[in-house]
Each structure stands twice: as structure tokens, then as C-alpha cells.
Structure 1
């Protein structure tokens, strides 16, 4: 423990104050330290890592060194074409350009200053690979399993994953794909065996292995330890502090005591979105909405966003989120990633009809769910309909093939099963004729290998979690009783809207002018992806890039805001709700 991490003083000064300890905040702090600035990270939660630690840990940063070494076939020109076609003018060209120009350098710094090691996930395609510039082979990289011993005592303070792997296994995103196919493909069996052997070796060596978002966060935290950057846990942002129109620090609550953190050079807000704030969700987003369907970190209540707004900051994209169809399980929502894309299932609305390509990127799937409000036919909740062959073949929400759904899921109304489709329709209160017709029509498409209604299975993305033993990996008929229905609601990984920023991650007012001394990155800022989602890791990758750019912008600004010694100079103002 450094002196800066010991008992709180009433006032402490750093060059940079970072609010939030997810990928955006840690990358900002790491960059600031690399540039020779003193920096502190404050985190509201008792754990560090935020939603990043609860995520899959993928990073979408085009044309980085890991992709180049792997021969992924990317280039700056291809990536720019892809974002131009995908995001377009919804997000300024300079922000899109900043992501692409500085992303590789950001990852180089992370790999140089931390023990994080990354690998390409081949075949995990961009979410719209058929667009010009899209890559069917994908641009997503993920952390290798990380030895938690590198953190020492700080391992105990790492944010837990939202869903632990069974039997304490360490499973990467690339392995997850094949583990789902353990009953269908030899590679699934080999992957499971490799994961099991790795688990036994780690137990024998008393080596705690971390994967996915936890591995990324742990590596970043280890980098901050090396750089002697303090991370204050259980420290809540109270208010931003200004002198004139410039942000010069923050007031935080630590150990029951208010502490004034002076920032000589600037403040970076990286405290996540507002997914856990019921009031804000109802203010900005469409019903039905709430806090019970998100898998974002518990402390993401929009504190940093509202602190910026009180200084006149503009916000954007507040009605949107990093959506994903989710199963409202009794222990918390399950983000439904592969389950709805595997062959042998469809998704129907309250009218018993299909309304979307089930394998579409998850943000688009929830946009389609909310679009039902405009048609007069509710798509929320909707139901994933599958037959027993589907359950015999594939892993589902962590349940191995053939394993029965838990009784508590039935008791909670999350799952219904029946011997016929008509009986199943009655159980979930949809028209039997419509559900039967929807399944029969889909079965015809599946047998012919072409979905004429929603084009499921035409995109390379649709195939990633599919079954390679089938002619179309995304399509199979529903024929084998009993039939099952699983409730689906509009969950999310976090909210997408936040403070408006420029290409240097500076927070902007409504008139487009920057608020001096204030930067934002991650879900505290409006997403550079706009209303869409480029590929797996397009939350974390840009969050890290703009955290990096925030620190660089602060370092390149020669104006220091160190408090003068003249006692006649007015004390900074503290912005509070009155």
C-alpha cells in the first residue's frame, strides 16, 4: 500500500484524477502514468473492474499488432470503409478516424506496460461482415488466461464475473464456441478435455487462472501496480470541482469522509453507464425498461454522466444500450448469445409469429423487440421455441446437452415444456394456429437451407455459433417432442448513451465547445458506434482507445491547474445538487 492509498486526507493533489476502474479508466490511468503524470483511480464499488470484468473481454481495435501477426487480413483502409458504411454520419468522422488511427498504438502500450497477452479469435466475424470493409474472419482479440498470482492481495478485490464457468473452469471466448458443441463435434470434446487438463494443472500448482473480462482487468490492474498508480476502492464521486470554467478536481466520499482530489491537469470520467439507475432509464429509454435485466456492474448508476450534465455537458444516445436478448433467470439475467443462433430454434412474439432473424447481432435483435411497440404486437417478452433434439445436441445457458431445465426455471415461469406445439402455445398464451404455422413454415426453410422470411444463415456472423455438421449451420427443423419455450427479455451489457465527446475524448457542451479539464471514455460517454455494434469487443476496444486519448490530450495540454499559493485567489467551486 502506497502513502496515497492509506488513510484519507481532506485534500490530495494529482496531475490526473480518473473516475472508474473498468477498461476505459485503467487504460487512461496507465497512459497517464506512461507519460510521466501522477494519477489516481477512484472506484465506487468495493471491487475494481466494473462491467469489463463481467464481460467476455473481447477487444475490437482494427489493424492492431496481434491481428497483423495472426494474418487476419485487416488494413486501415478496410476498417475505415467498414465504419463509414456501418456507422456513417451518425458519429463524427474525426471520432471514427481517431479510433482507427490510435487504436493500434493504445494496444501496443497495454502490451508493453502490462502482462496482458492477446490472441485473435479466428472466424468470430465482424457483426456485419457483408458490408464493404467487413471481415468474415473477424477483428476481435481476447486475453489469454491470466495467472491471478501476479496481483497478490489485489486478486481478492477483482470484480467477480456475472456468470461463473462450471466447476471453476477457465474458458476463453474461442473455447466457448466449441464447448457448446461438445455433443456434436470432435473439436468440442478436445476443447473440453484441454480446458479440464488446464484446470487440473492450475489446481496442482495453486495457480488461479482468469479468463475473459477478468483476465483483461487483472492484467491492466497489474500494470497499474507496476506503475505505482493507486486505485481507491469504495470511493464515490460526489461532485466535480471547477475554478472558473475549468474542471480542477473532484470531491469524493472515501471511508465516510469527503476528500477533495485536486487535478493539476484534468479529470477523466470513466465510471460506466446508468444501467442500474431506475430513474434515468425511465427518463431516457422506452418501456418496458428497468434495472433488473442488465448484467452491467451494480454501481453503474450514471453518477459521472450526471456530474458532467451539471456543468453543462451535452449527452447523446441516451435512449440506447448495448442490448442483448436475455433470459430472466431466478439468479439474474442470462445474456443469450449463442442459444438463439443455434439450429433448431426460433423466436416468436405474443402473436406466435417470428419477427426477426434469430441469429442477428444482439443489439439489432433488441431493437427489433422494441419495434413491436410500433406495430401493436408485443415482442416483449418473446419466446425462444426449441425442440428436444436441440436440447440433446447443444449446451444451453450453461446446461450440458440433454440435461433437464431446472425446476426453479419452470416455477418462475421462465421455461415451459409440452408434448405438442399446441399445448406449448397454450402454456405461453400465444395463438396455437399461429405458432404451429410459424414452426411449419420455418421447418420448410430449414430443410431447403434458406430462410425466405428473415435470411437467417446468410451472414458469416450467423454461422459462428452454428453447427458445422449441418448444410446451413444456422438452420434445422423443430420436429422432436417435447417442445420447449424460454422467455426472452431486452437485457443489456450496459447503457450506450453518455456525455458527448470529441476525438480527444474532451467533454463537450451543447454548443460544441469543450469543458476545459474534463474528459470522458467508456460508457460514461456516448458510444462511437452510434446505434450499432461493429463486432465483438466494440464496447471495450473503443473504451480503451478513448481512455488512452483522454490521457494523451491531458498530457499534451501545457496548462497546469495546480492550486496557486496566493490565499487571495478564490477557492474552487463545488457543484452540488441544491
Structure 2
């Protein structure tokens, strides 16, 4: 058949039949495909992009999966009871309790399965706290695990098809999430210099051994793809979903565009939609989300335009959480948005609105920071754009958006209107069109808090989470005054890692109609489904960990139903007596 891989089962001309068809090659889709193949189901992954990995390959690659084997071996103080209490507190009734239970019960098994069937190994990011560590069940030491750097040669020629990272490390370095924290403090802490030396040495050794080390989301996506190679699961790139195929009231396959022609891929037992969110669909964003909104502030994969979500809706599927996203304050740079992790939390900066006033704890979890930005629409004072105000001492001390300490902001950032600098707070206020007297008063008040070590307005630095990217050399790692000219203002907009609303599912990842009934044969995981996290974010990796878990659960449910369906054929028929 034209465009089909050799040896695949064909029906009529141009069509092929599998047991399971997975749409999307991010972490959710590849985990689902791996589990389905392990259950003996003939599986294929179809991917819209010319590269595999989706937004996972562009991400930090962390997984939030409580009570997994990696955490247990490292001695993390976790327990099922603590994790359950934490999620219940965060999510409440917005997400059904059975979804939370499914995540907590299947998550550890999923991670063990991935470790057993791929070259991936994981390590605890000790100290990267849950985002609400003071909440019931929260852990100040955190529950996040990340991939150990992986040699990309395990993929062979397929490595060239890996979706590139959102921000590439300098000079081909391999940097883990745990190392990123200390590299920000290279000018402030001995561990910063030691980390830089370790990263450089690893690079030298890798070059000598001709290894192609990958970290973060690059390692995660590559490791899962390597697992699929071992399992013989094909991944068809540049094969976008056109629509779902239904037979006798059941989703029985997908129509895709393959080599310029529409091809029907039949699925005997199920279709799993893991095609990402709709962050790059301008129409959907404006339909479901608050203004100002658009597609230019997201760092999600460019191919994420809601194809799977809309295909499900055409069959009557319900959706939820469409108004929300995995938000994060971002800088609209000339080459694309930069998602701020450490920059706004490091001491010596504040965020202000159009009135020149602070409106949020700058070190708060990034989803909360953007929720606060949008809340300005209800007060009559715009928080969009906001401005990150910092002094020169801040720039001398810390890495900023990949720029080493003391390095000047690039001229293109100034030309793009992303950065302004001035010799005084009042002059800076004029450049960004905020009231100079208000901004001066805001800075003066904040400086008083910084000298005292306590933020009386927004309690910055009181949570263990606030300290992770802070400066341990200061009494309060999150607070320092803004005193040294010149002063800088960086434009901040409500960016995101991707949308978090999508198809409503049950605890087995089966897609539901508005009345709560199941659409037979259709499953969804990852950002194509409504997030188990609701409107919040439990910790670093609370996107990918649940996405992989529900992809895994979808495959297990399909496999169980396939086995039940096969049972009548295996039973011997009645025997006749002589």
C-alpha cells in the first residue's frame, strides 16, 4: 500500500488495520503505545509533526508521580496517604475523586513499567518542593523526578527526528533540572561553580567518547522512542489526524493524511488521542479563554492546534477546563517567548502592573502568577503586560533568561520592546508608561520589606517553594532590595506550556459524552484531555507525570477489554454425547 510501512496488515487499498492507534508522539502517546504493545496489541503511533516528541521534547522532562520506586529508593518522605491528602486539598471537587485515586495508584506502576521497558532511568530532584508544600500532604523536599542524561545514540538514525528543545543549552552542554538551579547562582555560590565544572567535564568526556548526551524532555522523549523501537511499534511522522472513524456506534479507527492522501487506519480495540492541546489554535483560544490571548506567547509544540479535541467534539464528546492552561509569566522576546522559572523568583526584583504596584508574590507557582495577572481585568487596573523591575545588582549576581551574570541585555531585546533600562526609577517609569511616583513608592516599600526579611504585602519567601530558585546566601533567599542603578524593566505576558483543557474522560481515560456515557473505543490522555490537576499545579512535572499515567491506563483498559472479547473464541464448544 502506498505510504504504509512494509509488513503491516492491510484491508482494502490504502487502509491498514491495527489493534490500537495512538494519535500523538509526546510522553502520553508513547507511554500508551508502549503499554499496548507490551500487552500483545499491534500498535501504531501517528504524529502530525515531522519530528517526534511533541511538547515533551521541548519541556523540562520532570515527572510528578508520588510514591514511585525512584522516590522510595532515595528515601523521600512520601506516602499514599500524604499524596492523597495533598491532591484532595488542591483539587477538591473540581476533579472526580476516582481520577485522583487512579493517578496515585497507577502512577508508580507506570514509572516502573517505563524503567523496565526503555533505557530511561530517573533521579529525584531533591529539594524542588511541591508547589504548595505547606498544604496538607505537601512535601518541602518535593516529589519530582527527572531523567538521568541519556546517550542519544541509542536511537540511531531516529535521533535526527527528535523535536528540538525549546531552549538549547549553550555550546552543546547537557544540563539537568537540578543543575539548572545552581547554574543560576554561578556568581553567588560555590555550588554554582562546581556545577558548571561538572557540566563542562561531562561535555568533554562525552565528546571524547562520542556520546550524544540528552537531558530534560529531550532525554524523556528519546528514551520512550527507544522503547517503541525495541517493541517494534512504528511511529508515522508527518501524518496528521483528519477525523475519527466510527463503525456501528464505536470508534473503530482514524483517517489520517499520509503522503498527501487520506488513509483509513482501522483500530480493532481502541484509539488513544494524545495529540496535545490547542495552544496554537487562535480561534479556539479566543473562543474559550480570557483576553488578551493568542498563540504568540506559548512555548507548546507548534503542531498543537486541538485536532484531537475537535475530532472528539464532533462525536459529541464533552470538554472541561478549556479556559485554563499551564500558565507561566513569560518574556515576549524577538525570537519567541521565554518562560520564566527562576527569573521572577530571584531576590532583587519585583513585578508591577500598569499602575506601578505589585499585585502578586513574584515567587508564587507560575500558574498562580498568571491567574493573578488575569485577575487584573476584574479590578480595572491592567496587569497585562506586567513589568519585572530589577536593579543592576540583580543582573550582576544572577543568570537571566540564559544570559550570564553581568552580561548586557541584547540590543534586539530593546528593539522588540521587551526590555527597558534607565538610570533612575522615575526615568524607567516614563519609559514603560507607569506612574513614576507610584513605582518609586512601590520600590521603597518593597525595599523596606527586603531589609527586614519579611514581605508583609504578599508573603514572598514564606513558602519553601519560594526558596528553591532563591539565593541561599541571603537571610530570606527570596528578598533583596532594588537599590543599584541602572534599573531594568522586562515586559511580562501570560505565556504557557500548553493548554490544560480538553476531552472529559473517566478514570480509565475513556472519553465521555455530556451525559457521562462513554464513547466506545475512544480514549484521551495528556493535554488532549481535561487535566487531573484542575486549575492548579501540584509540582514540577504535574503535566507529564499524569499524562503518562493516563496514557498507560488507557492502554491497560484496552488490553483488558480485548482479552475479554477474545475469551468466547477460546472457550471449547459443547461436546455431543454418543
Task: Write the mapping of 1:406-445 to structure 2, written as runs, cut at 5 A.
Answer: 406-445=410-449
Q: Determine the structure 2 residue equivalent to 1:3.
A: 6
Q: Determine the structure 2 residue equivalent to 1:398.
A: 402
> Distance in 1 between the 2:220 and 2:291 partners?
34
Distance change (3 Å), C-alpha of 1:5 and 1:348: farther
Distance change (3 Å), C-alpha of 1:9 and 1:135: farther
Q: What is the Cα deviation at residue 258 of structure 1?
A: 1.1
Cα deviation per residue 1:472-501 (whole Å; 9 max; x = unaligned)?
A: 000000000000000000000000100000
2:306 matches 1:302: yes
Task: Write the mapping of 1:529-568 to structure 2, written as runs, cut at 5 A.
Answer: 529-558=533-562
Task: Write the mapping of 1:58-137 to structure 2, written as runs, cut at 5 A.
Answer: 58-137=62-141
Cα deviation per residue 1:432-453 (whole Å; 9 max; x = unaligned)?
A: 0000000000000001110000
Q: Determine the structure 2 residue equivalent to 1:566.
A: none
> Distance in 2 between the 1:559 and 1:134 partners?
39
SS in 2 for 1:119: strand
Q: Determine the structure 2 residue equivalent to 1:142.
A: 146
Q: Determine the structure 1 residue equivalent to 2:284.
A: 280
> Distance in 2 between the 1:424 and 1:76 partners?
51
Distance change (3 Å), C-alpha of 1:117 and 1:559: closer
> Distance in 1 between the 2:273 and 2:14 partners?
21
Judge conservation of contact 1:25–1:270 (CA < 8 Å) in 2. Answer: yes
Q: What is the Cα deviation at residue 560 of structure 1?
A: 8.7
SS in 1 for 2:495: strand
2:472 matches 1:473: no
Of 198-207 and 283-292, more deviation after overlay is shown by: 198-207
Q: How many residues align?
A: 562
- Normalised by the length of structure 2, the TM-score is 0.96
Q: Determine the structure 1 residue equivalent to 2:365.
A: 361
Q: Determine the structure 2 residue equivalent to 1:221.
A: 225
Cα deviation per residue 1:4-62 (whole Å; 9 max; x = unaligned)?
A: 58999611011000000000000000000111111000000000000000000000000
> Distance in 1 between the 2:413 and 2:64 partners?
35
> Distance in 2 between the 1:560 and 1:250 partners?
23
> Distance in 1 between the 2:248 and 2:497 partners?
37
Cα deviation per residue 1:173-223 (whole Å; 9 max; x = unaligned)?
A: 000000000000000000000000111111122211111001000000000
Distance change (3 Å), C-alpha of 1:9 and 1:402: farther
SS in 2 for 1:87: helix
> Distance in 2 between the 1:10 and 1:344 partners?
62
SS in 2 for 1:129: coil
Within the candidate set 23, 32, 36, 1:32 is matched to 36
Question: Moved runs in structure 1, 4+ residues, more than 3 A?
Answer: 4-9, 558-562
Judge conservation of contact 1:447–1:477 (CA < 8 Å) in 2. Answer: yes
> Distance in 2 between the 1:434 and 1:343 partners?
21
Task: Write the mapping of 1:270-349 to structure 2, written as runs, cut at 5 A.
Answer: 270-349=274-353
Q: Determine the structure 2 residue equivalent to 1:574.
A: none
Judge conservation of contact 2:24–2:47 (CA < 8 Å) in 1. Answer: yes
Q: What is the Cα deviation at residue 558 of structure 1?
A: 3.6
> Distance in 2 between the 1:5 and 1:207 partners?
34
What 5-or-longer segments of structure 2 have no aligned partner? 567-578
Within the candidate set 253, 258, 261, 1:254 is matched to 258
2:468 matches 1:464: yes
Within the candidate set 53, 59, 79, 1:55 is matched to 59
Judge conservation of contact 1:263–1:561 (CA < 8 Å) in 2. Answer: no
Q: Determine the structure 2 residue equivalent to 1:569.
A: none
Q: Determine the structure 2 residue equivalent to 1:520.
A: 524
Task: Write the mapping of 1:347-386 to structure 2, written as runs, cut at 5 A.
Answer: 347-386=351-390
Cα deviation per residue 1:127-167 (whole Å; 9 max; x = unaligned)?
A: 00000100000000000111010000000000000110111
